Structure 1
Amino acid sequence: METALRYDAKAAAQLVAIQLTPDMVAQRAAVLRALVPGAGDRVLDVGAGPGLLAAAIAERVGAAGRVLGVDISASLLAYARMHFASMPWLRFVQADAARLPCPDASFDTIVCTQALEYLRDADAALAEFARVLRPGGQLLAIDTDWDSIVWASSDAARMARVLALWDEHVADPHLPRTLGRRIERAGFERVCVRAMPLLNPAFDPDTYSNRLIDLIASFATSRGADEADVDAWARDLRGREDYFFSLNRYLFFATRARERVGVAVIR
């Protein structure tokens, strides 16, 4: 599971802070509504990160089920293991999405949120998903098109510089544009997609976008951006009376089967 953004202790803490915002709590609730995990289900969470979604799924499937969270980041997995050790049917392992340590057809459901866009070879991961998912099993994936950011700023050129560097934190910052067809080619059918907008129309410290500022700033400076320029960018955003942020993520839902059909839009 290759990524340009390395989740060291600092980046892991920033990601956990993002995942605990009401925006991300709402996203996890939307995933649970789409999946409807039931008692006894076997669920694989690829790119599980700090384990918050995997833990929520584990609560739904209960002790009769099994949830495996996979991630490449040791720092994020350490957080997950520390906070969710009370459910023995929930495990976390360090592994690559393209080389899953799982038998064929061993899961009823795979969920992969904000992970495929980090991979150099998303198609290899999708092929692995098809291998370990039972026929008729369900796949839910969420990824972001980072061109969809709308962020009020007093310096458009500076915003463009910072976001151009931020694009480098993933392997494919525009993955949703091609993901539906690639899921289909990997052996899935009934591929559906819907937009999941993130909207912060006013500044609040406890929002996705405010926490994202810290993550972007750290990454941009690690990529050689001028620290004073990045600091000015962050101060400008947080100091605006007309604060506005919007970003589109896309939820893809598909079924593992032999036949292949086109991409539909969920209405």
Structure 2
Amino acid sequence: MSERPPSDDDERDRWERVLSTRTEETFRDFVFEQVRPRKDESVLSVGCGPGFETAALARYVGEGGTITGIDVNEEVLAAARDRCGDLPQASFEQGDIVDLPVADESYDLAIAKQVLYAVSDIEAALNELFRVIAPGGRVAVTAGDRRTHVKHTPTDRMQRADNVYRAEINHSQLGTRLIGRLPEAGFTVEEVTPCAKIQTEIDDQIEQGIGVQRGLLEASDAFDSEAIDAWEQDIRELNETGQFLSCSTSFLYVARKPE
């Protein structure tokens, strides 16, 4: 019997679990502490998910500011609307970062956290961010460089699996390449700040990563199904014995659109 494909409800529940992990809460706090959205600013939250980011932004902009959350998944947006139902400054639209459903030069700040990995056309996405930001406004974009992702991999099988992952993952060096891509889109980069995400146990975010890596291994010629199962068992045994360790570095870029 074939496995049931994931539904929109599954997708919403998955993002609820991932974005409520301690790792993601800490990362949101890091971004906001660096960016410091100001009172009364208009903010665009791209890839807002189920509204955790939108609700947190509301504390910064106050009732005089506005926040527009954008996401491609309508079920996820429904969760965001429920979560932010008592925040009059928050609104939501379904849309994609390469074709944002908002007017030109209408926001003081746009935040796009870990969104660009899912985009095939990085140039189009950055051009859209430039279009919707008012002159003098800012963007805050985060991405990682897979070369900075290190794990405790005591077996040769785990090391080979990670090599496949690094070779196949989309935009694997985006976190460092944005230093050139943002100016190409017209922005002036003002700050680049690294943030190390250290995880010592398998949480919902790591579970998602295991699923992604399994898919890449299944699509490669380097591992058969038995070897993939053994690789996953290696990871889970490390977790069970308190030896799991994963550390990745994300880079936060704060850039400004010239006046």
* Smaller-chain TM-score bracket: 0.7 to 0.9
Structure 1 counterpart of 2:254: 253
Contact (CA 8 Å) 2:164, 2:217: kept in 1 or not?
no
Alpha-carbon separation, structure 2, partners of 1:101 and 1:183 = 21
Distance of aligned partners of 1:7 and 1:66 in 2 relative to their CA distance in 1, 3 Å threshold: farther
Q: TM-score, normalized by length of structure 1?
A: 0.82
Matched residue type, 1:39? K
Equivalent in the alignment of 2:175: 176
Quick one: distance in 1 between partners of 2:255 and 2:21?
28
Question: Does the 8 A contact of 1:108 with 1:134 survive in 2?
Answer: yes
Cα pair 1:42 1:65 within 8 Å, conserved: yes
Residues 159 and 69 of structure 1: CA distance in aligned 2, closer, same or farther (over 3 Å): farther
1:57-97 CA deviation, whole Å, 9 max, x = no partner?
12221222110011112332222122221112211211011
TM-superposed CA distance for 1:219, in Å, is: 3.0
Instruction: Tell me by how many angstroms 1:159 deviates.
Output: 4.7
Matches within 5 A, 1:1-267: 8-161=8-161, 164-165=164-165, 171-200=170-199, 202-203=200-201, 210-222=203-215, 225=218, 226=225, 228-229=229-230, 231-257=232-258
Q: What is the CA-CA distance between 1:42 and the residue it aligns to?
A: 0.3
Measured in 1, the distance between the counterparts of 2:146 and 2:7 equals 19
User: TM-score under structure 2 normalisation?
Assistant: 0.84
User: Moved runs in structure 1, 4+ residues, more than 6 A?
Assistant: none
- Preserved contact between residue 180 and residue 191 of structure 1 (Cα < 8 Å): no
Q: Percent identical across equivalent pairs?
A: 24
Q: Distance in 1 between matches of 2:19 and 2:33?
A: 18
Alpha-carbon spacing, 1:245–1:175, altered in 2? closer, same or farther (3 Å): same
Aligned letter for 1:120? S
Whether contact under 8 Å (1:213, 1:234) holds in the other structure is: no
CA distance in 1, matches of 2:249, 2:96: 26
Residues 8 and 166 of structure 1, relative CA distance in 2, 3 Å threshold: farther
CA-based RMSD of the aligned residues comes to 2.4
Deviating more after overlay: 95-104 vs 31-40: 31-40
Indicate the larger mover: 47-56 or 248-257: 47-56
Amino acid at match of 2:249: N
Q: What's the CA shift for 1:167? A: 6.7
* Whole-Å separation in 2 of the counterparts to 1:148 and 1:110: 26
The separation in 2 between residues aligned to 1:149 and 1:236, in whole angstroms, is: 20
CA distance in 2, matches of 1:156, 1:178: 30
Give 3-state SS (helix, strand or coil) of 2:141's partner.
Answer: strand
Which digits, 9 at most, give the CA deviation of each residue in 1:216-235, with x for residues without a partner? 23334455733633541441
Amino acid at match of 1:197: A
Q: Which amino acid aligns with 1:252?
A: Y
Distance 2:85 2:115 in 1: 23
Q: Is the 8 A contact 1:44 1:69 kept in 2?
A: yes
How far 1:13 sits from its partner (Å)? 2.8
Query: How far apart are the structure 1 equivalents of 2:24 and 2:209?
Result: 17
Deviations 1:21-72 (A, max 9, x none): 2222221112221222222210001111222112111222122211001111
2:242 partner amino acid = E
- Answer whether contact 2:194 2:252 (CA < 8 A) is retained: yes
Larger mean CA deviation between 159-168 and 242-251 belongs to 159-168
The alignment of Structure 1 onto Structure 2 pairs a total of residues equal to: 246
Gaps of 5+ in 2: 1-5, 219-224
